[in-house]
Amino acid sequence: MKNFLKLVFTWWNSQTIGTLLFTFFFGKLVGEDEFKNKYYKNKNDKRWVIFNNEVESTKIPPEWHAWIHYLIDDLPGKKFEKYKWQKKYSENLTGTNLAFNPKKNKSFKKKIYNSWEPKS
């Protein structure tokens, strides 16, 4: 019962009942990413994602982000080339204990220049 109420009244716990119905009647599953997020589109090329767990836009990998925002037309898949210099994807950590904090980071260097100051 609790999960049903979450489905009906909240959007941050996966999809709402409206999105579920729209996906059922008009959506065509086109792919899934490594986080088990499912990507859909309809006959008018509207694209959307159903998140596996909590709805968080930073949980969309870069290749799917490009597809869902119409930057590429081809579906990401095995052919999507990742270069060796690319970092592994991670979600946005802002607001968590894992976020970058220059005061706690020993390797962060202090300002090594003098700001421009007008002459008086």
Show Cβ contacts of residue 27 under 8 Å, excluding neighbours closer than 6 positions: 40, 41, 42, 48
- Is residue 107 predicted with pLDDT exceeding 80? no
| Contact predicate 68/38, CB 8 Å | no
Q: What are the beta bridge partners of residue 63?
A: none
What distance lies between CA 64 and its chain's CA centroid? 9
The domain limits of the chain are 1-120
Q: What is the pLDDT of residues 85-101, one digit of tens each?
A: 888 777 788 888 888 77
Alpha carbon separation from 59 to 27, 28, 32, 117 (Å, rounded): 21, 21, 12, 43
| Contact predicate 42/28, CB 8 Å | yes
Q: What is the pLDDT of residues 3-51, one digit of tens each?
A: 667 666 665 566 777 788 888 999 999 999 888 999 999 999 999 999 8
pTM of the full structure: 0.67
| Average pLDDT of the segment spanning 76-91 | 76
Q: Give the three-state DSSP class for 47.
A: strand
